[in-house]
Amino acid sequence: MSAGGSARGHRALPHTADIRIEAWGPTREACLAEAVAAVVDGFADTADLAGAPAVRAASADLDADTDEDALLAVLDEVIYLLDTEDAVPVTAEIERTAAGVRARMRLVSVRGLDLGGAIPKAVSLSGLSIGADGDRWSCTATIDV
Amino acid sequence: MELIEETPYRFRIDRHGQMRVPGVVYASRALLPDPAADRSLDQVVQVATLPGIVGASYAMPDMHWGYGFPIGGVAATDVRDGGVVSPGGVGFDISCGVRLLAADLDRREFGPVRERLMDALGRDIPRGAGRGAVWTLAGQPEMARVLREGSRYAVRRRGGGDRDLYRCEDGGAVDDADPEQVSARAIDRGLGQVGSLGSGNHFLEVQAVEEVYDERVAEAFGLRRDQVCVMIHCGSRGLGHQICTDHVRAMEKAMPRYGIQVPDRQLACAPVESPEARAYLGAMAAAANYARANRQVLGDAADRVFRAVTGRTLELVYDVSHNLAKIETHEVDGERRELCVHRKGATRALPPHHPDLPPDLREVGQPVLIPGSMGTASYVLTGVPGGGAFFSTCHGAGRLRSRHQAAKSVRAKDLRRDLERRGIAVRGASARGLAEEAPAAYKDVTEVVAAAEGAGLARAVARLCPLGVVKG
């Protein structure tokens, strides 16, 4: 978790059964990258991840017509990689493309990591938001675990 | 919002705003959610706005905050009167449910084999994030068989008997599954997970029948005092979550065509007779079949462990979902009507003599399986004549505190020591996962069951206590 006053960061918000995250950054893409970090923080220890050997770099071109679509697409991709490749991103860089966004991630294997119970499985449309206030982008999302 | 106490176990929210029907909350005053921390009562009100909803928007005693629908929500819509289906009313984990198996083993015989049995279960029951399952499917053609035939295919391919089917809701599979409506992404996520618990609040627990409240019914279910049992709680894994994700988004795009507006995006819905709803119901049925196959294969794996370690077998008591929508016929305002009944975190509870019961349960009603939180009691209930909310009841203890709060207030080491001191062996839990699922994060399951009984939704048959847990 990053400090609330910094230019970019993320934190967990209270939710009874699932995980609710907030992320922010100076650009939409930075905000999306922080959202990825927030979801990973929800179930993995950052120190464990830093020490894990990288499996590979991944790049995904994701279609998105709107900012909300971009947020959903990026978080969906994290969940998909976890379920199909047993992999979790330790870094994520997001860039804008003509069709949506490109997510470049460095992945590590979750095998052997001491993961928490709150493994993300889907992104809810309830309470989903993303937008800019001046030069600060922020987003919220509720993740089913 | 005003809650009107009709009885000590039934509260009404009168129609206001866009509500088409009232809200009805089956709970004791003590179990009602705290509106400051949990918005599930608002969600009961929002569900009451769905097109075609009949009766009331119901909440069960274990209700808590979900998305769109509350967890513990029941809503039925009239299929012939523009009634809708909402994937959010089923939930992400389609056909998440509980399977209870009874061992031919007495509690006092468990002690000597406890460590060996729990070690073997810890080794053979896949759990946690990502891939890793009992059954490696031979690609997409075999996945299509699982999606169409559910437990029936699993029993044929992996072993099992007739009882595994007639004691499973829908005989182990629903017939209207349509794998064509399941996306490639959902298939990808599901391929490596048939026969796995997953994570979160999912588990396999070894239990003992601690108390029997109705000998006749318990005997018909296949339960007796001091008997060792295995309870499995899990669902349709990544496949079900992806199906819900895909179809909620498709329905949200389609809603303007049907002139539907909803107060929460996760309530996205479409008329049951629309192409979007038919597509969802076909995919949902496929996920339900996947979930039944998943629990069948896990039950079979547990049976193999029991045979190897104790020489005894496991026999199915029942397998029932608590996240599902079903087309059912019920009497509403004196008329038989075809309804789409959504149960999200709620269990169907058929009364004795219901035509959908298998012959050996016809006299006693459907077993309703209510897992408690980790380390606490679980209950077996049965349906009752005139059961409310279209024959539905609670599904578990119901979450009270967030994972974050639980992890902050409970030390995993202390919790594990406390469980071990009480004779409950724990396998497979990470420190964080264990703390997040601490019993203090949940309501008291005994209070929940008492409220369900008090409200006339079901009645208790037996209480089970934990002996060992394999945490998802």
Reduced 3-state DSSP string for B96-150? CEEEEEEEEEEHHHHHHHHHHHHHHHHHHCCCCCCCCCCCCCCHHHHHHHHHHHH
pLDDT under 50 in chain A at which residues? 1-3
**Domains in chain B: boundaries:** 4-400+442-471
Q: With an 8 Å Cβ cutoff, is A38 touching chain B?
A: no
Domain assignment present for residue A82? The answer is: yes
Longest Cα pair distance anywhere in chain A, in angstroms? 43
Task: Please indicate if any CB of chain B lies within 8 Å of the CB of A114.
Answer: yes
Using CA atoms of B302, B308, B313, B319 in order, give the dihedral in degrees to the nearest 10.
Answer: 10
Q: Which residue of B has its CA nearest to A69?
A: B249
When pLDDT is averaged across residues B10-27 and rounded to a whole number, the result is: 98
Q: What's residue A1's pLDDT?
A: 47
Q: Is B378 annotated as a binding residue?
A: yes
The set of residues, in sequence order, having a beta carbon less than 8 Å from that of A79 and lying 6+ positions away, is A120, A121, A122, A123, B238, B241
Residue B75 CA to residue B44 CA, distance in Å, equals 9
Total Cβ atoms within 10 A of residue B385 = 11
Whole-angstrom Cα distance, residue B317 to residue A134? 60
> What's residue A117's pLDDT?
66
pLDDT, one tens digit per residue, over B425-435 is 999 878 888 88
Active site residue B241: no
Helix axis angle, B237-254 relative to A67-85, nearest 10°?
160
Rounded Cα distance, A60 and A70, in Å: 12
Q: Where are the alpha helices (DSSP H) in B410-444?
A: 412-421, 431-436
What is the pLDDT, as a whole number, of residue A5?
Answer: 65
Identify which of B371, B393, B395 has the alpha carbon closest to the alpha carbon of residue B459. B393
- A43 lies in a domain? yes
pLDDT at B117 over 80: yes
To the nearest whole angstrom, how far is the Cα of A22 from the nearest Cα of chain B? Answer: 14
In a domain, A62, yes or no: yes
With H, G, I as helix, E, B as strand and everything else as coil, classify residue A44.
coil
Question: Which has the higher per-residue pLDDT, A1 or B403?
Answer: B403
Burial environment of residue B470 by CB neighbours within 10 A (0 to 12, 13 to 18, 19 or more): buried
| Radius of gyration of chain B measured on its C-alpha atoms | 21
Q: What is the dihedral of CA B458, B463, B467, B468, to 10 degrees?
A: 0
pLDDT category of residue B401 using cuts at 50, 70 and 90: confident
- Angstrom CA distances, A24 to A7, A19, A94, A113, A132, stand at 7, 17, 14, 27, 9
Cβ-proximal residues to A56 (8 Å cutoff; 6+ apart), any chain: A87, A107
Name the pLDDT band for B122 (thresholds 50, 70, 90): very high
Catalytic residue among B64, B241, B247, B395: B395
What is the chain B residue with the closest CA to A145? B200
Q: Give how far A23 is from chain B: nearest CA, Å.
A: 17
Instruction: Give this prediction's pTM.
Output: 0.96
Both structure tokens of B436: 């997040």
Cβ neighbors of B437 (< 8 A, separation 6 or more) are A117, B200, B201, B373, B374, B406, B429, B471
Query: Average pLDDT in the B28-44 region?
Result: 94
Q: Is B122 touching A (CB cutoff 8 A)?
A: no
Q: How far apart are CA B241 and CA B93, in angstroms?
A: 5
Q: Is residue A2 part of a domain?
A: no
Contact A16 B200 (CB under 8 A): no
Q: Is-contact B422 B429, C-beta < 8 A?
A: no
Q: Say what the pLDDT of residue B400 is.
A: 85
Best mutation target among A45, A126, A142 (most B Cβ atoms within 10 Å) is A126
CB pairs under 8 A between A and B: 133
Q: Does residue A47 lie in a domain region?
A: yes
* CB < 8 Å to B265, chain A: 125-126, 128
Interatomic CA distance for residues B60 and B63, integer angstroms? 5
Residue B399's region, left for phi above 0, alpha for psi from -120 to 50, else beta, is: beta
CA atoms within 13 A on the CB side of B132: 17
Residues 4-23 of A with CB under 8 A from B: 12, 14-19
- Cα-based torsion angle of the residue sequence A39, B444, B372, B398 in order, rounded to the nearest 10 degrees: -40
Q: Minimal CA–CA distance to B55: which of B278, B258, B337, B327?
A: B337
- Compute the CA torsion angle A79, A81, A84, A86 (nearest 10 deg): -100
Residue B23 has pLDDT above 90, yes or no: yes
User: Rounded to the nearest 5°, which phi and psi values hold at A72?
Assistant: -60, -45
Query: CB distance from A130 to chain B under 8 Å?
Result: no
Mean pLDDT of all residues in B218-240: 98
Amino acid at B340: C
Give pLDDT, residue B110. 96
Q: Does residue A141 sit at the B interface (CB-CB below 8 Å)?
A: no
Interface contact B241-A121, CB threshold 8 A = yes
Residues contacting B452, CB < 8 A, separation 6+: B26, B60, B61, B381, B393, B394, B458
Cβ–Cβ contact B37 with A under 8 A: yes
Is A7 a member of any domain?
A: no
Domain that holds residue A108: 18-144
Distance CA B378, CA B355 (A): 27
Average pLDDT, chain B: 96
| Strand pairing class (B459-471; B425-427) | parallel
pLDDT > 90? residue B374: no
Cβ-defined contact of B432 to A117 (cutoff 8 Å): yes
Q: Is the ipTM of this complex over 0.90?
A: yes
* Chain B residues closer than 8 Å to A82 by CB: 129-130
Pairing of strands B270-271, B84-85: antiparallel
Considering its fold, how many domains does chain A have in total? 1
CATH number at residue A63: 3.55.10.10
In this structure, are residues B415 and A97 in contact, taking their beta carbons and an 8 Å threshold? no
Q: Using one digit for the tens of pLDDT, what is the confidence trace for B243-294?
A: 999 999 999 999 999 999 999 999 999 999 999 999 999 999 999 999 999 9
CB B266 within 8 A of CB B160: no
pLDDT at A2: 47
Nearest CA in chain A to B38: A16
CATH architecture of structural domain B4-400+442-471: Alpha-Beta Complex (3.90)
Mean pLDDT of B196-223: 96
The 10s digit of each residue's pLDDT in B298-343 is: 999 999 999 999 999 999 999 999 999 999 999 999 999 999 999 9
